[in-house]
Amino acid sequence: MDSLFADVALGIPSRGTFQYAVPPAFAEKIKPGCRVWVNVRARRLVGTVTALSPEKVIEDPKPIEGLIDETPVLDAPLLALTRWMAEYYFCSWGQAIEAALPAPFKKGKFLMKSRAKKIANGVESVDPLNHPLTADQENAFREIMEKINKKEAGFFLLHGITGSGKTEIYMQVIGELLKAGRGSIVLVPEISLTPQAVERFHSRFGDGLAVIHSRLSQGHRVEEWHRIKKGEARVVVGARSALFSPVQRLGLIVIDEEHDTSYKQEETPRYQARTVAAERARLERAVLLMGSATPSLETYFASLHKDTRRLFLPERIQKRPLPVVQVVDMRREPAAKGEKIFSRALEEAVKNSLKKKEQVMLFLNRRGFSTHLHCASCGYVMTCPNCRVSLAYHFDKGALYCHACGYRTPPIRLCPGCQKNYLHYFGAGTQKVEEEARRLFPEARLARMDTDSTSRKDAHETILKKFKKREVDLLIGTQMIAKGHDFPNVSLIGVISADTALHIPDFRAAERTFNLLTQVAGRAGRGAIPGKVIVQTHLPSHYAIESAKDHDYEKFYSKEIIFRKELGMPPYSHLIQIVMSGGTEKEVVRQILLFAKFLKERLEKRGVSLMGPAPCVASKLAGRFRWNVYLKGNSIEEMVPLLRESLGEFKRTQVALTVNVDPQ
């Protein structure tokens, strides 16, 4: 038999694949997409075969030590998708492959047992018959089905105001695909939304549904992967990583709340699920359907100027009115000792809703009790010794916490800066809102939903179920409560501070504020009870707050897009962030200044501009100093090869370097 050689991708930060010799015993069974055991510098690693060839390209290739799979774990389109990710997102092909497979597969595992309960447990059964569509829904449904029936790749933005019935369109399209023996993937942005999405989809599609998200046990995740691979589950619902599910005959990818920042992965490979989903749709001739009441500027821009088709749903189901939004100027509230949490209008409205046995949601995008401890005399702010981040006080733990690295310390009373004054707690977090709500509304049954209160397994589900069953009157939370939830008995939403995101030094600050306020407002008035929203702010005339008050996306977009065009920011350009980090700030600064000069000389004449260098927003994290520089250009496909070339030539020492393509 002729010699056979395999190109193997490894999950290490090294560009390109490695060639190994295929022993005769494996020659008949080995195929691209199969995993193998290989030896790398005396370490036994799992790799994935990407190609087979009779041609030897290195002098003395080592033999493959073991064949893990007799059938490929990645089919040709997924193998092509991971290769594209490696090029676009500046990672190795092996790292992209590892992102696409369940974590135990990295260790060579294939079958695992889990004790996971069946989805059906505790799920309400809903009439599986299709619900009648409105005229606008019908038009959208028909256009999507036309593209699906042509078996061509298609891109749609389903731009529907909150409560306009986007989910029903997803379900009816999926139902048609199932009749044709084709599969679908539905992505939701938050794990907290997964239980509700699972309930709705399971009620319609039964055991043909699989669930994928990071809170599943490893065994359960592997079991779900096998069900999908065998075709037992043709509908997959999950968070970001569900995008890589091995769905047979894929016809549709849905990205619900497509504007959400959690679709961007923050560790290698730093991919944006929206962009990867578009590439997978192209490769598999599937339709990508992106749904949102507040589309990202990039997606809305693409629907006006590029190949994405916008389908608009301007009315709520059953013509229910959008909630009335009242903006309260906190500068005009009577002075109070410390920070005022509840305006008179919000306090009164909560009392009225509770009196009528209606439910209330209070939103604040800051967890903890107080956001920082500071000295009124010398201005000292207590910060984390490992990070340049102020410590937040957590009342229930009686400790100060760093939300970046997890450092904790007991609170101190005397200022270490001037030794004269007591430190004061400043800035309200969700815990402080909860304490104040207990004082003002003693008769209300309260629950809090933030990262701290939902750290236990199934905690999201437990809190949301209690709220749905009306065992909780008042739910206080961070952005977890802002998205996608449907509670018909909620009549009032209170936004404690609309300004939290506006003060972040980020060109997307106004967009994030508008999106959050619109999404939060959309949780009210979804049943027979009319909804009301009270937004507390110190910046009532800001266009993001005014547009959210009027539920007017076009008004916001028309203002924001001018600002983006003037700055040449996305969607008029693409960004790549390069972060250098190290244990000594002097060395990090020296290296990044050299690197920025080196890049400028090479890239500016090729149409790529440089911004920075500057300290990162979190300039010190877990003991490491961090500086960054941004590249700005028209196309990632043009910028990445230039950056690869420059990095290959630049010699750096004592600092780590990370590349983030299309940072959020």
Per residue in 383-397, pLDDT tens?
777 766 667 766 556
Coil, helix or strand for 577?
A: strand
pLDDT at 539: 87
Is 377 within 8 Å of 420 (Cβ atoms)?
A: yes
DSSP string for residues in 450-510:
STTTT-STTHHHHHHHHHHTT--SEEEESGGGTSS---TTEEEEEES-TTTTTTSS-TTHH
Region of 627 on the Ramachandran plot (φ > 0 left; ψ -120 to 50 alpha; else beta):
beta
- Residue 555 — very low, low, confident or very high, per pLDDT cuts 50/70/90? very high
Strands 35-40 and 43-53: antiparallel
Looking from the CA of 472 toward its CB, the CA atoms found within 13 Å total: 20
Write out pLDDT tens, residues 91-110: 999 999 999 999 999 998 88
pLDDT at 122 > cutoff 80:
no
Give the contacts of 536 (CB within 8 A, at least 6 positions apart): 328, 330, 343, 346, 494, 495, 496, 497, 498
pTM of the complete model beyond 0.85: yes
Phi then psi for 125, rounded to 5 degrees? -85, 135
Q: How far apart are the C-alpha atoms of 544 and 557, rounded to whole Å?
A: 9
Q: Kindly report the CA angle at 114 between 187 and 123, in degrees rounded to 5?
A: 55
More confident residue, 322 or 159: 159
More confident residue, 659 or 422: 659
Of 284, 276, 220, 286, nearest in space to 253 by CA: 286
pLDDT at 368: 45
DSSP string for residues in 49-87:
EEEEES---SSSPPBP-EE--SS-SS-HHHHHHHHHHHH
In the chain, domain spans: 5-107, 135-318, 320-366+443-564, 368-428, 574-661
Task: Compute the 3-state secondary structure of the chain and give helix, strand, coil in percent, each to the nearest 5.
Answer: 35, 25, 40
Greatest alpha-carbon pair distance for the chain in Å reads 89
Q: How far apart are the C-alpha atoms of 146 and 103, rounded to whole Å?
A: 38
* CATH superfamily of this structure's domain 574-661: Ribosomal protein S10 (3.30.70.600)
Of 548, 429, 538, 544, nearest in space to 493 by CA: 548
**Burial (0-12, 13-18, 19+ Cβ within 10 Å), 474:** buried
Region of 185 on the Ramachandran plot (φ > 0 left; ψ -120 to 50 alpha; else beta):
beta
Region of 56 on the Ramachandran plot (φ > 0 left; ψ -120 to 50 alpha; else beta):
beta
Of 33, 93, 26, 16, nearest in space to 64 by CA: 26
Q: How far apart are the C-alpha atoms of 17 and 26, rounded to whole Å?
A: 19
Write out pLDDT tens, residues 225-253: 999 999 999 999 999 999 999 999 999 99
Alpha-helical (H) ranges within 523-635 are: 543-549, 553-567, 585-603
Per CATH, which fold does 320-366+443-564 belong to?
A: Rossmann fold (3.40.50)
- Residue 15 — very low, low, confident or very high, per pLDDT cuts 50/70/90? confident
The DSSP output letter for 116 is P
User: Letter for the amino acid at 415?
Assistant: C
More confident residue, 163 or 230: 230
The CATH number fitting domain 5-107, selected from 3.20.20.150, 3.40.50.300, 1.10.150.120, 3.40.1440.60: 3.40.1440.60
Average pLDDT, the chain: 86
Per CATH, which fold does 135-318 belong to?
A: Rossmann fold (3.40.50)
3-state secondary structure 299-340: HHHHHHHCCCEEEEECCCHHHCCCCEEEEEEHHHCCCCCCCC
375: enclosing H helix or E strand: strand 370-375
Strands 574-582 and 359-363: unpaired
pLDDT at 125 > cutoff 50:
no
Query: Do 135-318 and 320-366+443-564 fold alike per CATH?
Result: yes
Q: Kindly report the CA angle at 299 between 293 and 303, in degrees rounded to 5?
A: 95
Give the contacts of 597 (CB within 8 A, at least 6 positions apart): none
